[in-house]
Amino acid sequence: MGLGILIFINMTSSKPLVLCVDDEPVILSALNNQLRRYFNNHLTIETASSGEEGIEILDELLSEGRDVEVIVSDQLMPGIKGDEFLTLSHERAPRSLKILLTGYASLESVGNAINHANLYRFIGKPWQEDDLGITVREAINVYWREKLIAEQNETLKTLNHELEQKVRERTRELLQKNEALEESIAVTVSTQRKLIQSEKMAALGQLVAGVAHEVNTPLGVIKSSIGYMIKSYDHILRDFTRILRVLKAREMVLFLRMIELVNKEFLTTKEERDLRQKYFGWFAENGLHLSKISADCLVEMNLPANLEKFLPLFRHERAEFIIKAAHSITMHEKNAGHIKLAADKADKIIFALKSHSRMDQTDSIGRIDLARNIETVLILYHNQVKQGVEVIKKYPASVVQLDGYADELSQVWTNLIHNSLYAMQNKGKLTIEIIDSHPEEVQVNVTDNGPGIPDEIKDKIFNPFFTTKPVGEGSGLGLEIISRIVEKHMGRIELESTVGVGTTFKVFLKRSHK
């Protein structure tokens, strides 16, 4: 019965061992016999007739690596006493369970044994055979249970230690890897910066060509107009003095009034041709025999088609001269108007260029007029856009403002417009819409009717370096730059694209950064 537990717990192959020490051979043999019987021989019993001999045997057993589960000792012996012997044994075999056997209990010795030998039990003489057996069996069980626990603890400790070691190693490895990663991130960031820089330079190259064209147009106008004004000044004076001689006072008043009617609006060439036909018709209606050149002069002055009031001038015998004089005098003013317009245009381009290239401002947050911010970009890309792209602007009537970095936002529009123009191969419709209907956000939609973006690459296009452009043409950083800027503005981008229909990028930006 009790053996089951014993065998279960003692997993070593050898039988449990009990060391019995008593100076009286009768007692020793009684212990021996009773235990043997109780354990049905599943027990090794060593005996010693004195404490000294007991220590010798114990040392020997321990040096053989033998477990000594239980030590039973008499108290009263010649030489060393039982409590002393058990104390010595305890020093050698702390795990062995010690039982003191004595006829009369000296409290002192029991106390000693309890304190110094970690006494397990005290059995009085004479003892009950069963009591001895049960006590020893329990002691053996305790021994093995404790040993097992100790071993498990040991294993746990080792494992724990190993684990700690591993964790420490891992941590070190991770730290090293982390450092390496940080380093490579730093390298990537700096390469990326360089790339962004070179992309900017490339964009700048294109921009310079475009801007050169844009600025050369108003410059051409200014130069030619000023040239005309300088050269024709004498002519005008001469014509005017002649007019004074030719015209009577009343006619002079009409002449001046007609000159006042000159309209400085630009007509399209088609409108001018139509206007010329109207003059021809009017000439015929009134029986005027005026040349085509006269009609041209009237067209260039952009006079109203109905000139009844001025008929006396047109019926004048020097009518052709009067018309040419009016023309050359008014062209002077018209030229001045051209110069002003051209200068304004150049000014606009330079302003756009400056705010685009951060020449005159650092990267600071400010209140931005969204439509104006977009317009500066459109002005710069005007020459690329006008080649075959119809630009449709849908801006709300009132000004839409937001907090932001003006230069960076214009980079967002630049890159989006750039992508759209590229996708449409400069032919198609580009719609730029500002939506002002959310309380917190403003929304800008850039839509093209290009080829669209296939579903397979929709989630890749924002990745840095992802491009479908031929090698060497695109860096694939455009959209990445956009997302970083939009992120900086606490905004977001949504993409809507259908292959064969077109693409819309929706940019949402917080109105306020407070």
Partner 1 sequence: MEKVILCIDDEKIILDSLRIQLRRELGYQYGLELAENAEDGLALMEELTDSGVKVIVIVTDWLMPGMKGDEFLIKVHKRFPGIVKIMLSGFVDEASVARAYKEANLFKCLRKPWESEELVRTIREGLNQLDKQQ
Ligand X SMILES: Nc1ncnc2c1ncn2[C@@H]1O[C@H](COP(=O)(O)OP(=O)(O)OP(=O)(O)O)[C@@H](O)[C@H]1O
Question: Which residues of the chain form contacts with partner 1 (CB under 8 A)?
Answer: 209-210, 212-225, 227-228, 231-232, 235, 266-270, 272, 292-293, 296, 300, 324, 331, 334-335, 338, 341-342, 383, 386-388
DSSP string, 385-450: HTTTEEEEEE--SS--EEEE-HHHHHHHHHHHHHHHHHHTTT-EEEEEEEE---SSEEEEEEEE-S
From ligand X, Mg ion, partner 1, none, which one binds at residue 467 (CB under 5 to 8 Å depending on kind)? ligand X
Q: Look-up: residue for tokens 């000139």?
A: 307
The CA distances from residue 82 to 27, 70, 76, in Å, are 14, 14, 6
- Position 467 contacts ligand X (CB under 6 A): yes
Nearer CB in complex with ligand X: 474/491: 474
Q: Give CA–CA dist 320/289, Å, rounded.
A: 10
Confirm if 91 and 118 have CB atoms less than 8 A apart: no
Closer by beta carbon to ligand X, 103 or else 454: 454
Least distance (Å) between residue 225 CB and partner 1: 6
211 in Cβ contact with 380 (< 8 Å):
yes
Q: What are phi and psi of 445, to 5 degrees?
A: -105, 130
Which residue in 479, 493, 507, 509 binds ligand X (CB under 6 A)? 479
Tell me, rounded to whole angstroms, the distance of Cα 466 from its chain centroid: 16
User: For partner 1, which is the closer residue by CB, 172 or 223?
Assistant: 223
Query: 362 touches which of Mg ion, ligand X, partner 1, none (CB within 5 to 8 A by kind)?
Result: none
Of these partners, partner 1, ligand X, Mg ion, none, which one is at the site of residue 420 (CB under 5 to 8 Å by kind)?
Answer: ligand X
Query: By C-beta, is 443 or 475 nearer to ligand X?
Result: 475
For ligand X, the binding residues in 199-238 under the rule CB under 6 A are: 199
Nearer to Mg ion, 58 or 423 (CB): 423
Which lies closer to ligand X via its Cβ, residue 404 or residue 452?
452
CB atoms near residue 202 (< 10 Å): 13
Distance CA 99, CA 73 (A): 6
Altogether, the residues listed in the chain come to a count of: 514
Query: Does 469 engage in binding with ligand X (CB under 6 A)?
Result: yes
B/e letters for 376-401, b = 16+ CB within 10 Å, e = fewer, are bbbbbbbebbeeebeeeeebeeeebb
Picked from Mg ion, partner 1, ligand X, none, the partner binding residue 13 (CB below 5 to 8 A depending on kind) is none
Which CB, 271 or 473, lies closer to partner 1? 271
Looking up tokens 């005996």 gives: 47
Question: From its phi and psi, is residue 287 left (phi > 0), alpha (psi between -120 and 50) or beta?
Answer: left
Residue of the chain from 99, 380, 409, 423 that contacts ligand X (CB under 6 A): 423
Residues 442-461 that bind ligand X (CB under 6 A): 448, 450, 453, 461
Q: Give the sign of the dihedral formed by CA 383, CA 384, CA 390, CA 391.
A: negative
Tally Cβ neighbours within 10 Å of residue 144. 21
Q: Which is nearer to ligand X, 49 or 414 (CB)?
A: 414
Is residue 430 involved in binding ligand X (CB under 6 A)?
Answer: no
CB of 463 to ligand X, least distance (A): 8
Which residue number places its CB atom closest to Mg ion?
Answer: 478
Residue 7, token pair as written in the block: 């065998």
Question: Using CB under 6 A, which of 85, 444, 475, 486 touches ligand X?
Answer: 475
Tokens 């010798």 sit on residue = 56
Question: Nearest residue to ligand X, using CB?
Answer: 478
- Which 181-200 residues touch ligand X, going by CB under 6 A? 199
Considering only residues 463 through 482, tell me which ones interact with Mg ion, judged by CB under 5 A. 478
Q: For the chain, give the longest Cα–Cα distance.
A: 172
- Upper half-sphere CA count for residue 114 (Cβ side, 13 Å): 9
Smallest gap from residue 385 Cβ to ligand X (A) = 14
**How far apart are CB 203 and ligand X at their closest, in Å?**
8
- Work out what residue 341 binds among Mg ion, partner 1, ligand X, none; the CB cut-off runs from 5 to 8 Å by kind: partner 1
Binding flag, residue 476, ligand X (CB under 6 A): yes
Q: To the nearest whole angstrom, how small is the minimum distance from the Cβ of residue 278 to partner 1?
A: 17
Q: Considering only residues 412-451, where is the footprint of Mg ion by CB under 5 A?
A: 419
Q: Is 142 left (phi over 0), alpha (psi -120 to 50) or beta?
A: alpha
CB atoms within 10 A of CB 208: 11
- Interface residues toward ligand X, by CB under 6 A: 199, 415, 419-420, 423, 448, 450, 453, 461, 466-469, 474-480, 503
- Interface residues toward Mg ion, by CB under 5 A: 419, 478
